[in-house]
Chain A
């Protein structure tokens, strides 16, 4: 029981990180209907920016962790957003009216470029960061097995919930969100009614990238090590989460992330850790076969 609760907490934390990345996939897919393959690598770049910021702040003597965290979060979000914007501008916008596979190929190309760029600029070695947020609560104890809820896990889950709330508000209440939903339904019609489609799509990438940046900071703090390759596998899992939850749906992405996180953690805990990715991917295949529009997605109407 205690073991189960502990795994539940770990799974939800991991799921929150996947969910944050998944939102970027789901928003981009919803609005322009393409897999932004390089999104996972944007997440990786953000983790590097955060690492450099943390080390820089610590080296100038800023050791008050909450302040450092806020500064790093804001700076990382801002600079990662520039990466997201540039990605769309350079690799996707020229091909927006082109056929479907073209942006997918540039996306894979950009993913290769980002990985190798960071590898060249920062080296291929794993980069460690000393633990900054330590300690936690003992939730329960039984027969010497202590269930821990660390401050880090509380921070990740709380921040994720808060961001979900903010972004749901943005999508549902603001004019930007309205334009996004309009573009999602019909880009030409939205343009005719005066929505600046280019700007809306750019802002979608900016939003997705800044959420990935939050995930990057959390990943860095939670695991303490990053390298240039973390984006690929996290990206696939997050996309799986987005599809699982129903593409285009924000709560769906979060739900999908949680499910993938839980499957991964429970599978590693009770079965074999080697096959945890196989478990997550099998889940994806099963869901798509039996529920092609995902858990919370709208069923796609086939136009003839």
Chain B
């Protein structure tokens, strides 16, 4: 709004009118779905009117909209105040950002030995790290190569099932199976990538989504191999150079090192495995970005036609992006399988793909640290609402919408250039093209 901010009392009539309209619309939205509940009675449905709940919902929309109108959307003044209040934060962030990454890594390494760390925090951290790793893996495909992949969970599933099947049928250990699972997932990346080479943007998104669903349907129905919806259980745990992290392992970790047995040892070990895998993903991608291949990816994201006319082999470039992204997804999948000890097709639904993609986009496409922040905010936030079991998926969806509207470019909008002469200059995210595919 361009006009100068006026006093609250002058804005009141306008705000009241606007809030009234919003309340009226919400009445229309909620009158059936919230206002009346269907009750199951054997044979027939009964209706139970809930006028107070409806009134509460409509009333809160009215009040919320009124408060937003009066105090937050009140023109330039408040916005300026907010911007100027945030500016030092941004500057401070800019100043600490060179140290932010090492600090985060150091924190992650020391986390298991922090005084406040308990089993729960470790479990949540392992989950967050898994999503960070998946986010970094998908970042290769979406953030760097600009190929919109909505079926990333397929490779996660391939990795998980590969490890589970190899380990349970052939008895190979985690460390032998891990590269195999990664290779298989990468191979699937190529197999699924090949038919969609010519597709762009949203078409690519919908076909990859379809592939993701197809793999899940096959996993459910190929009973003789995957055990169908029952899933695969008793997946072996990883060993530490052949030492088992169980109470009665042979040989067992705690006896070998002469420390008392604690079930936490295994969790800490898992935490370090996923930390190492995630850092490996990050290291490999940030190295790849500097290679001709990585630069070809980013060029492909910006303009495919220009790429082709410069003699870049777009087919191979796209396929390597799919394969490498899929391989990291496969690693993460193997880790998921060994951590859970049990996998079933239920863990690999579309919603997982959506969450991973949301982490990449919310973090700021192509930004490695952005993925970390988005994963901590989204997955950590999801965990905070553990008590509100019913509501947390709703909150998760709302958070996705609100963060996106607030920061369409993601949380971290500036880009570190991959290649630079003498001096690094941050590039604004607005200059980075979206993934046109």
Contact = CB atoms under 8 A, between A and B. Distances in A.
Given A127-B45, A292-B198, 19 more contacts: A48-B32, A51-B38, A52-B36, A86-B25, A99-B408, A100-B435, A101-B361, A105-B361, A122-B37, A123-B37, A125-B40, A127-B40, A236-B206, A236-B213, A274-B220, A282-B214, A285-B195, A289-B199, A292-B199
A130 B41 CA distance: 12
Interface in B1-40: 25, 28-29, 31-34, 36-38, 40
Contact of B398 (A94, A113, A121): A113
A52 B214 contact: no
Nearest to B57: A121
**Residue among B36, B351, B365, B404 with the highest chain A CB neighbour number at 10 A:** B404
B337 to A, nearest CB: 24
Interface string B206-218: 1101110110011
B33 A278 contact: no
A110 interface: yes
Contact of B400 (A52, A101, A106, A122): A106
A275 B435 contact: no
Contacts of B85: none
**Residue among A33, A35, A292 with the highest chain B CB neighbour number at 10 A:** A35
B206 A35 contact: yes
Interface string A101-131: 1101110111111011111111101011110
Contact of B33 (A86, A104, A108, A118): A118
Contacts of B396: 112
B201 interface: yes
A274 B221 contact: yes
A68 interface: no
Contacts of B433: 99
A125 B40 CA distance: 8
Interface in A71-91: 79, 82-83, 86, 90-91
Contacts of A292: 198-199, 203
A59 B49 CA distance: 13
A256 B58 CA distance: 40
Contacts of A240: 206, 210
A48 B35 CA distance: 12
Contacts of A289: 195-196, 198-199
A288 B365 CA distance: 26
Interface in A263-288: 272, 274-275, 277-278, 281-282, 284-285, 288
Contacts of B210: 236, 240, 281, 284-285
Given A95-B405, A274-B221, A285 B196 contact: yes
Interface stretch (B71-79, B261-269, B312-320, B387-395): B387-395
B205 interface: yes
A138 interface: no
Measured as residues with beta carbon below 8 angstroms from the partner, the interface class of chain A is 35 or more
Nearest to B195: A289
Contacts of B361: 101-102, 105
Interface pairs A-B: 5 shortest CB-CB:
A112-B397, A109-B400, A281-B210, A113-B397, A99-B434
Nearest to B396: A112
A232 interface: yes
A99 B195 CA distance: 26
B47 A52 contact: yes
Contacts of A275: 217, 221
B415 interface: no
A48 B34 CA distance: 11
Interface of A: 29, 33-35, 45, 48-49, 51-53, 55-56, 59, 79, 82-83, 86, 90-91, 94-95, 98-102, 104-106, 108-113, 115-123, 125, 127-130, 232, 236, 239-240, 243, 272, 274-275, 277-278, 281-282, 284-285, 288-289, 292, 302, 304
Given A55-B38, A100-B434, A116 B213 contact: no
A276 B393 CA distance: 29
A243 B399 CA distance: 30
**Residue among A29, A91, A102 with the highest chain B CB neighbour number at 10 A:** A102
Given A52-B32, A304-B305, A284 B401 contact: no
A109 B398 contact: yes
B362 interface: yes
Interface string B321-359: 000000000000000000000000000001100100110
Contacts of A86: 25, 29
A252 to B, nearest CB: 14
Contacts of A34: 202
Contacts of B436: 100
Contacts of B354: 108, 112
> What does DSSP make chain A's interface, helix, strand, loop or mixed?
helix
Interface residues of B, number: 63
Interface of B: 25, 28-29, 31-34, 36-38, 40, 44-47, 142, 148, 195-196, 198-199, 201-203, 205-207, 209-211, 213-214, 217-218, 220-221, 305, 350-351, 354, 357-358, 361-362, 365, 390-391, 393-394, 396-401, 404-405, 408-409, 433-436
A124 B220 CA distance: 22
A125 B38 CA distance: 10
Contacts of B40: 123, 125, 127
A91 B202 contact: no
Given A101-B434, A101-B435, A112-B393, A51 B45 contact: yes
Nearest to A294: B203
B391 A101 contact: no
B29 A83 contact: yes
A33 B178 CA distance: 41
Nearest to A56: B47
A109 B359 CA distance: 12
Contacts of B44: 130
A94 B397 CA distance: 17
Contact of B404 (A109, A239, A277, A284): A109
Contacts of A98: 408-409
A48 B45 contact: no
